[in-house]
């Protein structure tokens, strides 16, 4: 709730009941006005021509409304007061604790049965929300008792967003195939990696449904990339900096395409928060740094990859027919143990922004 306000010609000072305090620039408040002249409620789009605001713009009057739930501001260029909610002001405060998105990073020992959910549960609104919450918290989730057909993948994908088209098509189905160019089709152990380091917009989610399993081995491996980052940050700042700053190129050459992209293994946003982990030793493209930095880079990826391949950090599980593994490809590294026999899988990718969208709509974060 809003406790107190005062304003000058350039700023509005707001004191909140929980003792937070912030100064909001006048131009920012006017630009964020949600009255009918400045804002289109139906499209959630700004109508105001921000660049055209008068330089003499100022606050004429303010009042706290409904015991601090709202703040009304009468602007010099508007006839009626504009209302700002406590949630809006507090949510945009620079002084509050850093946005904690409540992600709990994990090692193998931390994982529980909570990573599973029955398909039937996900069909209700509440159940679907529960599923999203698990997927968001752990970075992955297994949906059990799905029908062992490609259609199940599509149905689940369409509830979240939509199937992404890529060089592998939209929905895919595969079993070990030595004729394909990609390492994913072999029966050898597939070490933990993220997909599409060669894409500027790597898929946000990957879905993998086990349709048939008549084999030995072939566990699915999940590793929390955010936990690796946390671990390295604690143990060696220099390695952390290298992994956060050196842009590593990845490429995909074959099947009629030549794709290439580059980004740091730990990608940060402008607030220095980790937003994406990308690591794929298979797809790393040729690149060269100055010799001393190059050597440090190899030390850094050695540490990263040894952690990723340590059983302490790995959740391992043999997917049974009807189990669909879904994971956040911007956070979780995936792999697969060596196997002998037949293992048929179906799957697809979903864009990161569509995963974010469904999480926001369901108030997951």
Which positions lie near Fe ion, rule CB under 5 A?
Answer: 195
Residue among 55 and 178 whose Cβ is closer to Fe ion:
178
Closest CB to Fe ion among residues 195, 323: 195
Cβ-proximal residue to Fe ion, closest one: 195
Torsions phi, psi for 209 (to 5 deg):
-105, 130
CB of 337 to Fe ion, least distance (A): 14
63 three-state secondary structure: strand
Closest distance to Fe ion from the beta carbon of 333 (Å): 9
Query: Token pair of 192, please?
Result: 């933990």
Taking the least distance from each CB to Fe ion, the nearer of 133 and 346 is 346
User: What's the closest the beta carbon of residue 53 comes to Fe ion, in angstroms?
Assistant: 50
- As measured in angstroms, the least distance from the Cβ of 280 to Fe ion is 8
User: Among 60, 57, 66, 65, which residue's Cα sits nearest to residue 31?
Assistant: 57
Helices (H), 43-171: 86-91, 119-122, 125-138, 150-160
Residue 320: CB minimum distance to Fe ion, A: 20
Phi-psi region of 200 (alpha: psi -120 to 50; beta: other; left: phi over 0): alpha
* 131/327 with CB nearer Fe ion: 327
Q: Which is nearer to Fe ion, 75 or 339 (CB)?
A: 339
Contact assessment for residue 279 and residue 308, using Cβ atoms and an 8 Å cutoff: yes
């Amino acid at each position: 709730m809003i406790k107190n306000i005062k304003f000058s010609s350039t700023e509005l000072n707001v004191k909140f009941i929980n003792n937070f305090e912030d100064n909001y620039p006048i131009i920012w408040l006017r630009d964020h006005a949600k009255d009918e002249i400045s804002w289109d409620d139906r499209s959630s789009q700004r109508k105001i021509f921000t660049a055209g605001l008068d330089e003499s713009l100022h606050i004429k009057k303010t009042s706290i409304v409904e015991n601090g739930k709202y703040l009304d501001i009468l602007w010099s260029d508007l006839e009626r007061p504009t209302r700002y909610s406590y949630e809006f002001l507090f949510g945009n405060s620079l002084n509050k604790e850093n946005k904690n998105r409540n992600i709990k990073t994990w090692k193998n020992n931390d994982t529980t049965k909570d990573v599973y959910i029955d398909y039937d549960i996900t069909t209700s609104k509440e159940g679907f929300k529960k599923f999203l919450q698990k997927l968001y918290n752990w970075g992955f989730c297994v949906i059990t008792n799905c029908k062992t057909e490609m259609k199940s993948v599509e149905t689940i994908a369409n509830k979240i967003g939509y199937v992404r088209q890529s060089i592998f098509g939209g929905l895919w189905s595969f079993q070990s195939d030595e004729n394909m160019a990609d390492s994913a089709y072999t029966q050898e152990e597939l070490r933990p990696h993220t997909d599409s380091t060669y894409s500027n917009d790597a898929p946000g989610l990957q879905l993998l449904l086990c349709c048939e399993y008549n084999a030995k081995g072939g566990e699915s491996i999940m590793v929390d990339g955010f936990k690796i980052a946390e671990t390295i940050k604690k143990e060696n700042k220099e390695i952390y900096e290298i992994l956060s700053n050196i842009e590593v190129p990845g490429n995909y050459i074959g099947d009629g395409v030549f794709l290439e992209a580059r980004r740091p293994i730990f990608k940060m946003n402008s607030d220095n928060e980790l937003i994406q982990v990308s690591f794929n030793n298979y797809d790393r493209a040729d690149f060269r740094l100055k010799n001393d930095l190059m050597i440090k880079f190899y030390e850094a990826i050695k540490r990263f990859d040894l952690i990723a391949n340590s059983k302490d950090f790995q959740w391992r599980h043999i997917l049974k027919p009807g189990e669909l593994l879904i994971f956040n490809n911007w956070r979780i590294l995936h792999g697969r143990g060596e196997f002998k026999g037949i293992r048929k899988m179906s799957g697809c990718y979903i864009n990161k922004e569509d995963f974010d969208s469904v999480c926001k709509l369901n108030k997951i974060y």
